[in-house]
Structure 1
Amino acid sequence: MADKDNLNLGGDAPQAEEKSGGKGKLIIIIVAVVVLLGGGAGAFLFLSGGDEAEGRDAVAEVVEEAPKIPLYLDVEKLLVNLEHGGRTRYVQAEMQLMSYKQEAIDQAARDMPAIRDGLITLFSRQDFAALKTVEGKDALRADALKAVNQALGLTPPDAIEKIYFENFVLQ
């Protein structure tokens, strides 16, 4: 029996050494990985942190490229009469002015009488038959945008950027 105990003890001893040796190797590998990652992160921060102005420029570009929020201003209903084929016809339009600049919207609100005057003059010169077509409405929208910005004395990028018809009736 003593031989069995010696054999059994001898068999357990090498296993105990392997287990402690395995844990030591694992700790060394973990420490090595942590040191390498820390050194890599430190090198990255050292090399990229040298030019702070460049970093600020990159942040400024991201801020400038943020989505623009459109601002709208309602133009009260316009009712304009036209002569067509010897008869009096009417154009009724409701519009929204759109800009990304609050200053342009504020100025348009202040100068709404001049805007309405320019739009009424423009609408009254239109050909009634042409306004029945999509192309005629698109041309009128483009001309109306020019008239609004001319009345305001604004040019891009500080100008009113679009006009949307909310209601357009020909009678």
Structure 2
Amino acid sequence: MADKDNLNLGGDAPQAEEKSGGKGKLIIIIVAVVVLLGGGAGAFFFLSGGDEAEGEDAVEEVVEEAPKVPLYLDIEKLLVNLEHGGRTRYVQAEMQLMSYKQEAIDQAARDMPAIRDGLITLFSQQDFAALKTIEGKDALRADALKAVNRALGLTPPDAIEKIYFENFVLQ
């Protein structure tokens, strides 16, 4: 009987180990499947749900970072007379207005008579000797920009941004 008891004990032990080993493997497999499903679901929601909002933001960022294209508008030649030392002197200038906003350029084209009037008035008030210097021309350019935007009623960022002298003659 001792042999029979040993056989029974030996026979019961492997079955118990198989049952507990089978349960352990089953638990590990279930946990692995749950982790994989959870990871897959998380990846799906993260990648699919986040793309729409992120894509719109990315498009907005790209639009904001796009290089600005300057737009130009010619101002016809101005010829203005100045009094200097009892003599009549002349200033002849050809200029271009520059803006990044099409609306500002369109408005400047419509209101060109008001712009020219403001510039003629400004130029006729200048000191002839000062206009011979770079500083004098730079000051005139800054004042001319203010006069143009004042005539248009525009303020930054919708305003004319720069004025370029294409030709500037003092006589």
Q: Work out whether the TM-score is over 0.5.
A: yes
Worse overlay, 61-70 or 32-41 = 32-41
Unaligned stretches of 5+ residues in structure 1: none
Q: CA separation of 1:145/1:13 partners in 2, compared to 1, >3 Å: closer, same or farther? A: farther
- DSSP 3-state at the match of 2:50: coil
Unaligned stretches of 5+ residues in structure 2: none
Q: CA separation of 1:47/1:92 partners in 2, compared to 1, >3 Å: closer, same or farther? A: same
Displacement of 1:59 = 1.9
Displacement of 1:12 = 48
CA deviation string 1:116-140 (max 9, x = no partner): 0000000000000000000000000
The Cα RMSD (Å) is 8.1
TM-score normalised by length of structure 2 = 0.72
In structure 1, distance between residues paired with 2:20 and 2:167: 84
CA deviation string 1:74-129 (max 9, x = no partner): 00000000011111100000000001111111111111000000000000000000
Report what 2:121 is aligned to: 121
Q: Give the structure with higher Rg (CA).
A: 2
Q: Give the % identical residues.
A: 95
Alignment length, in residue pairs?
Answer: 171
Report what 2:158 is aligned to: 158
Worse overlay, 57-66 or 39-48 = 39-48
CA deviation string 1:8-42 (max 9, x = no partner): 99999999999999999999999999999999999
Worse overlay, 5-14 or 33-42 = 5-14
Report what 1:59 is aligned to: 59
Worse overlay, 112-121 or 39-48 = 39-48
Displacement of 1:65 = 1.3
Q: CA separation of 1:38/1:152 partners in 2, compared to 1, >3 Å: closer, same or farther? A: same
Q: CA separation of 1:34/1:113 partners in 2, compared to 1, >3 Å: closer, same or farther? A: farther
Worse overlay, 156-165 or 55-64 = 55-64
